[in-house]
Amino acid sequence: MKKTNYSVLIHKELSGEITSDESVILNNWLGEDSENSILAENIRGIWIWSQSKVSGWEPDVEGGLSKVMQRIEADQNKQTQQRPSIFRIFKYAAAAIFIFSLGYFVSGVGNPQVEWQIAETEKTETRAISLSDGSQITLNGGTYFTYPETFPSNHRVVKMDGEGFFEISRDEQRPFSIEMDHGTVQVLGTSFNISNDHDTNSTTITVATGKVSFTPKGSSQNFILVANDKLIYNANTQRYRQVKDLSPNDWSWKTKELVFKNTKLKEVIPAIEKHFNIRVNLNNTKLSDCRKLTATFTESPVMDVLNSLKISVGVEIKKAKAADTFVLFGGTCE
């Protein structure tokens, strides 16, 4: 399940972009604990304050955190009984959160040359975005993407949470960076797909053309990927798996096409699941390796694909009780 970023929801509330469903989520969170309301009010206050900053101002995140730590130490030495110590600790922890939220949302706000835009897609929506440098970005469903209306002269930086296919215009003087929860991808000019999975806390990068580097957050390790490379990085374990020979279905959500060429069922099923955002359970696991599929589906409905699988592989299909879940049963290896 995708984690909820309440700072993002508060920001969207202030900018008038929050949906009715998001407003319900935010209000429920505010009602869970009075401390959540305190956090929200301070974030709102800092956001409003940031809008009045003069040109050239940038948030000093490191300096702000240093001051927060100094205030914590000073307060702990006072032995005051005005408030319980846990409340004071929360107050300063909240201050640290405010500084990070401010650094994320208003980086460049005080600079009239950098105006940040926000793009967010619904679960079943895809959206194409053209950036000021000529780069083309296609966002998959459930993605949150921020980017400058115009890039500055020395760098190109965007931020993403979700999945997107990037076709980056080459500019050797201004490398292109995508900042994410798990790390940063940097390129000069190439095409590639990035997917962030909150359920497994992992990032998958697949490269179609050119060269891409990926640096995990908090790590000095740097991965270099070239065309037909795929990297799967798990932020929980900090382990990775790098493979060659990409499937054309790695970004089928963008092409609207599924292509299978004598493909084993164990590879067919995950591709169908991701493409349609469904679950497909295989009862007879022996079929995973022994049964294969050759077919191309272009903008085909899910049931057309499953019925084709039924005929080609020799299985039966039934709808499970769980939402968007199907079960394949029967069939034999030949």
Task: Read off the pTM.
Answer: 0.63
Using H for helix, E for strand and C for coil, what is the string for the chain?
CCCCCHHHHHHHHHCCCCCHHHHHHHHHHHHHCHHHHHHHHHHHHHHHHHCCCCCCCCCCHHHHHHHHHHHHHHHHCCCCCCCCHHHHHHHHHHHHHHHHHHHHHCCCCCCCCCCEEEEECCCCCCEEEECCCCCEEEECCCCEEEEECCCCCCCEEEEEECEEEEECCCCCCCCEEEECCCEEEEECCCEEEEEEECCCCEEEEEEEECEEEEEECCCCCCEEEECCCEEEEECCCCEEEEECCCCHHHHHHHHCEEEEEEEEHHHHHHHHHHHHCCEEEECCCCHHHHCEEEEEEECCCHHHHHHHHHHHHCCEEEECCCCCEEEEECCCCC
- The pLDDT assigned to 45 comes to 58
Q: What is the pLDDT of residues 54-85, one digit of tens each?
A: 334 444 444 544 544 554 455 445 444 444 44
Q: What is the pLDDT of residues 155-169, one digit of tens each?
A: 899 999 999 999 999
Q: What is the pLDDT of residues 20-57, one digit of tens each?
A: 888 888 888 888 877 777 777 666 655 554 444 433 44
Question: From first to last of its 334 residues, what are the pLDDT tens digits of the chain?
Answer: 455 677 677 767 776 778 888 888 888 888 887 777 777 766 665 555 444 443 344 444 445 445 445 544 554 454 444 444 434 444 444 544 544 444 544 444 444 456 889 999 998 899 999 999 999 999 999 999 999 999 988 889 999 999 999 999 999 889 999 999 899 999 988 899 999 988 889 999 999 999 999 999 888 888 999 999 999 999 989 899 988 876 778 889 999 999 999 999 999 999 999 899 899 999 989 999 989 899 999 999 999 999 998 898 889 999 988 888 999 999 888 7
Query: How many Å from the N-terminal Cα to the C-terminal Cα in the chain?
Result: 39
